[in-house]
């Protein structure tokens, strides 16, 4: 069995994408091994999910740091200490600076609930519906200094259905996210890390 890539996960809340990745990683053929789940919010529900699966957790509360850079230094330090070689953002709600991104260049992944480059940013599903789109989906991409704009690694498409609300569309997209993110990590690691 080839060695698995140590994987850090960054969350801010519910952590359902993180959970999907931890479930996938329970299969020993999954090429990445979750070594740490970090939340910037102490009350993130995902922390308990990770702990229940035996994955170490850490909280780096952004409010406790005087600057974005100081917060990111602390985040970087816990990730380095964990041995992570690859980092997956999974509902992580802080924008990362170019400085942090540069330290992890090519090793920082994110999932966004739209078919990027369409609908970056927040309130995605409401904006998809307001625009009258016939389909939406999810995108896994490399993180760069520009929000939701890094190179696209994988996408999953779902239909927008008559009568959809932001909530019903979000739920359909989320199911697709849970399949897409683990598969995208698998394919990304298979191509080799930079």
Contacting residues toward ligand GRF, per CB under 6 A: 11, 13-17, 90-91, 111-113, 174, 177
Nearer to ligand GRF among residue 107 and residue 112 (C-beta): 112
Pairwise CA distance, residues 55 & 38, whole Å? 10
Residue nearest to ligand GRF (CB): 91
Minimal distance, residue 164 CB to ligand GRF, in Å: 15
Q: Which tokens sit at 126? A: 């409401």
Q: Which is nearer to ligand GRF, 15 or 31 (CB)?
A: 15
CB of 122 or CB of 161, closer to ligand GRF: 122
Q: How far is the CB of 16 from ligand GRF (least distance, A)?
A: 3
Does the annotation count 62 as an active-site position?
no
Cα dihedral sign, 22-120-189-6: negative
Considering the candidates 62, 112, 141, 178, report the single residue annotated as catalytic: 112
6 neighbors 32 (Cβ within 8 angstroms): yes
Q: Which residue number, 80 or 153, has a Cβ lying nearer to ligand GRF? A: 153
Min dist. Cβ of residue 139 to ligand GRF (A): 9
* Helix residue ranges, H only, the chain: 16-25, 46-52, 68-82, 98-103, 124-130, 166-191
Burial tier of 111 (Cβ tally within 10 Å: 0-12, 13-18, 19+): buried
Please state the closest distance from residue 29 (CB atom) to ligand GRF, in A: 23
- 21, 40 contact by CB (below 8 A): no
Cβ proximity to ligand GRF, 112 vs 172, nearer residue: 112
Please report how close the Cβ of residue 162 comes to ligand GRF at its closest, in angstroms: 22
Q: Is 4 helix (H, G, I), strand (E, B) or coil?
A: coil
Residue 10 buriedness (CB in 10 A; 0-12 / 13-18 / 19+): buried
Q: Which residues are catalytic?
A: 112
């Amino acid at each position: 069995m080839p060695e698995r890539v140590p994987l850090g996960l960054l969350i801010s809340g519910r952590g359902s994408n993180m959970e999907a990745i931890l479930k996938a990683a329970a299969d020993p053929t999954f090429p990445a091994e979750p070594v740490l789940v970090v939340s910037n919010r102490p009350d993130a529900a995902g922390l308990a999910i990770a702990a229940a699966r035996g994955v170490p957790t850490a909280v780096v509360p952004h409010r406790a740091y005087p600057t974005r850079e100081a917060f990111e230094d602390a985040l970087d330090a816990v990730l380095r200490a964990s041995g992570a070689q690859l980092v997956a953002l999974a509902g992580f709600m802080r924008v990362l600076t170019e400085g942090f991104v540069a330290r992890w260049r090519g090793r920082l992944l994110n999932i966004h609930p739209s078919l990027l480059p369409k609908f970056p940013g927040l309130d995605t599903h409401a904006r998809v519906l307001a625009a009258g789109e016939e389909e939406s989906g999810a995108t896994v991409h490399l993180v760069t200094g520009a929000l939701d704009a890094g190179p696209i690694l994988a996408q999953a498409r779902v239909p927008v259905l008559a009568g959809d609300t932001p909530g019903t569309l979000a739920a359909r997209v989320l199911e697709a996210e849970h399949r897409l993110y683990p598969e995208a990590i698998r394919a990304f690691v298979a191509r080799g890390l930079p």
